Each structure stands twice: as C-alpha cells, then as structure tokens.
Chains A and B, each alone.
Chain A
C-alpha cells in the first residue's frame, strides 16, 4: 500500500530524511483536475528540478505545495510537518519561499519596496548587502518602479527578495524563461551559489540543458504525475528517454 505511494527513488538519493515530502498530491483548477497524484522527495541542500512539457502540471505542483491552490488533496510534509490543510501564509512562515513564473514584481512598488516586502519568517536570511553582491544591478535601481526593470533584473529582484526572509527552501518557477543566455548563466551561477550556502531548491524548468548545469536530480512530470526520476550524473545515459518525455 505505502509502497505504491512512494516516489520512484534513484540510487543516488541521499539516505537522509527528506526536507520536503510530497505524496499523492492532487489539485484542481475549478472543475478541471490537473494533478493526479504527484509524489516526490527533496533532501536538505539539494537542487531538484521538475521537468516536463507545457501543461504537465509542474507549476501547479509548486503552487499546490505552497498552498496557493484552494482545491487540493494528498500530503505535503515539510520538516516533519503536514502542510496540506493550512493556507499559503502558514506555509511561507514554515520557511518555504515561492518565486512565481510571472515573477510577480509589483508595479505600484519601487524596487526597494519590492525587495523589502516579504517579511522575515525565520532567522538567518541573507542581508540586503549580500543580495546586492549577488545582483549588483538591483542596487543602482532601488528607487525605480519595480516593473520598469528589464526582464532579467525583474527575475533577480524576484529571487533576491525571497532570500531575505530566512526561508531555506526555495520554489523557483522557470526562472530562466524568456531571458538572454548571459542572464541565464548568471541565474545558474546564483543557484549554484545558493546551494553552497545551504539552500534547498525545487526548480521548475522546460530547459533541461540549463537544469543539468545546476541540479542534483530531476523528476519528470507528465499529465499530472511524476513518471520518472533521473539523477543528474545519469542524464547523459538517459538522453533518449528524456527526449521522448519532453518531446524535444
């Protein structure tokens, strides 16, 4: 019984207790049933990606973990706590931070106000100076209107502002979408740096070449389920299979 509910495990999964454990997650947009039982684990300090085609349910998975979708069932356990039945603000206060695909920069707020908006939920978040060190562009544009920034700068702001909060688990939804290659490289270096600093990251990506440069493991999502798990060092051996999954 329990076996069927467990996510597929590659041999490389660290033998520790998972930080985040998602089981049989189902979710609906209105009447439409989008997730049909997503299960996966994320271990402390890992970077894990959810790969899959458009509409496979990757973004919905992140939103359901975050508690943003009202209609969902299954189990989301974070640091041993069940988060299924609490609204998003409690999930955030447990130390999970979300960076949405559309970035969610507020146009009526300045860059500085955007950066300072998310409240600190745990001690030990990055200081503003450390964030400027990661993203020097932001420092020069503090008084600009948030949405006057370039797409890349908006993405940096969207990531930067959740680093202040003390959340140690980051859910990043397609942070490279629509950005120039040089910016994508900068985001990639940032993710590697954050991993070094002890952050645990779940990354939704369409671009598996980018994903392979930053991630430890990949989960393949299709039609609202996790259908496979591939360790990053086995990616080359599984390219054909992956191409079939992603239709590239």
Chain B
C-alpha cells in the first residue's frame, strides 16, 4: 500500500472529506451571517441556536408527526425562517438606530434562551436522527470509502451556497439587496420597501442556518449545544473571509474546513486552533478579511 508523506491515503482522504463536510456547514452558516450583516448591520449571535433549532425541528417533525427527512429539508427552513421574521419584526427592528452592541447583546441573549429551553426539555445527551434510507451505505472509491450521506451534504450545501450567490450577484432582487446594503435611504427614496426587505433578508439568513441544521441532524447528534460549539468557529470564518462578503463566506468556509482536515492529518494537536491562528494572522495582515472591501 502506498503512502503519502508517511500518511496512509485512507486517513488523508478520510480527513479531507471530514474537512469538506465541516467546511460545508461553515460555508452555509457564514453565508447567512454575511447576508444578515450586510443589510442589517447586526452580528446575528442567534445564528448557532437557529442552526440547532433546524436540527431539533427536523427531529420533532419525525418524532411527533412522522414527517421524514426530505420534507423536513423543505419545511424546517420555512418554519424556522418565520420565527426569524417574527424576531426581527418584534425585537431586532427596534435596535437599528442604536449602537451595534445592542444587536449583539439581544441576539446573544436570544441564543441563550433558545438553548436553555431546549436543554431543559431534552437534556444534553443528544437525540438520534437516522440517515434517510435513500442515502444509507456508501461508495468504495478505491482510495477511500465515501458514505453516501456525507457526499450528499457536500453537494447540497454547494448547491445552496452557489444558488444564494447567484441570486444576490446576478438577479434584480439581488441588485436591490446590494443597493440597500450600500445606501438604504436612497433605495427607499426610489420607492422600494426597505424595511420589508430587511425583514425577509433576516428570515432568509435564518432559513439558511435551519437548512444546515437539517443537513447536520443525521451526522451530529441533535443536542442543544451543537450550534454553540460550531458558531464560534463560524465567526472566525466570517472574520477571515471578510464581513459582508458573499463569495468570501463561501470560499473561506470550504477552504478552512479543508485546512482544518489537513491539520488533523499532519499535526492533530493543532487542529482545533488552526482556524483561530489563521484568523489572527489575517486580522494582522488584512483586517478587512481576505475578500472584504475596505471602506
């Protein structure tokens, strides 16, 4: 059996795949954060809890209503997105004229409340969610074994990320969004309903997080802390990619997942800090982030 730099290929590709899976979640989550931050100027600290809520609602649909994975993939983003819309209308919209810090405190508090309620109800041991039968099993690619579901996660998140990028960068709706991100007052003076656009954008960003949560449910156990663990890394990804940059969020998400995977192969001790080291370096060298625009 051949080896690569003293590493068996199964281990290398296995870790690269794991990195790609993590990267998929980083990409979808940081994309949602970037879209929300761009238009609302709010760092949505509830994002991790909304991702977790996505996984939980999928589990509830299955457990209480017998609604399976594929329907959950459609229903959950809509349901959780609507809770996002309610939160924006009821709470966040009252803070736009205040300092960023208030939005941060509010969304952080909301995250704690959502996590607390679910922890109280379901404990922290984690609930099982089975891989849908259509995606059970895997493929032997010769150099590695690819579980079907993991391949699906990478493909689905790529499609969602690129679809979002396309809508924002290439359509009329996206042009409204980009214009309102730059100068909401003038866009309003053209007759466009900017407050409604802000609400829907927040709802969309939250729906992205919930979609990621459904994708994650069969891989990670469904538990109230799953978002809190992930979101810290995602914030680092957003900082590295550049706040508010759509393409930056996607590329950095997948890229850092891979880098994290490689670190696990070559120097496992550093794997959990690799992303934060990169963040520190990027902040020193290019404070606006790799894809960020300096004002």
Number of A-B contacts (CB under 8 A): 60
Give A66-94 as 1s and 0s: 1 = Cβ < 8 Å from B's Cβ atoms: 11100000000000000000011111110
Tally B residues with Cβ within 8 Å of A: 18
Interface of B is mostly: helix
Give Cα A128–Cα B183 distance, bound, in whole angstroms. 24
Q: In the complex, what residues of B have CB within 8 A of residue A92's CB? A: 188-191
Give A113-149 as 1s and 0s: 1 = Cβ < 8 Å from B's Cβ atoms: 1001111010000000000000000000000000000
Q: A106 at the A/B interface (Cβ < 8 Å)?
A: yes
Which of B178, B189, B190 has most A Cβ within 10 Å? B189
Q: In the complex, what residues of A have CB within 8 A of residue B175's CB? A: 109, 113, 116-117
Q: In the complex, what residues of B have CB within 8 A of residue A162's CB? A: 190
A89-B193, A89-B194, A104-B183 known; A109-B188 Cβ under 8 A: no
A89-B188, A116-B172, A117-B175 known; A106-B182 Cβ under 8 A: yes
Closest to A95 in B: B191
B179 close to A109 (CB less than 8 A): yes
Which of B185, B188, B191, B192 has most A Cβ within 10 Å? B191
Query: Known pairs A89-B188, A90-B191, A117-B175. 14 more at Cβ < 8 A?
Result: A68-B189, A89-B191, A97-B190, A98-B186, A106-B178, A108-B178, A108-B179, A109-B178, A113-B172, A117-B176, A117-B187, A119-B192, A121-B191, A162-B190
A107 close to B182 (CB less than 8 A): yes
A119 close to B191 (CB less than 8 A): yes
Give Cα A165–Cα B190 distance, bound, in whole angstroms. 9
Q: In the complex, what residues of B have CB within 8 A of residue A100's CB? A: 186
Closest to B181 in A: A108
Could you name 27 residue pairs across A and B whose Cβ atoms are closer than 8 Å?
A66-B189, A68-B188, A68-B189, A87-B188, A89-B188, A92-B188, A92-B189, A92-B190, A92-B191, A98-B189, A104-B183, A104-B186, A106-B178, A106-B179, A108-B179, A109-B175, A113-B175, A113-B179, A117-B175, A117-B179, A117-B190, A119-B190, A119-B191, A121-B191, A162-B190, A165-B190, A165-B191
Give B156-195 as 1s and 0s: 1 = Cβ < 8 Å from A's Cβ atoms: 0000000000000000100110110111011111111110
Closest to A107 in B: B182
Q: In the complex, what residues of B have CB within 8 A of residue A165's CB? A: 190-191
Contact residue among B176, B183, B192 (Cβ-Cβ distance under 8 Å from A89): B192
Q: In the complex, what residues of B have CB within 8 A of residue A121's CB? A: 191
Q: In the complex, what residues of A have CB within 8 A of residue B181's CB? A: 108
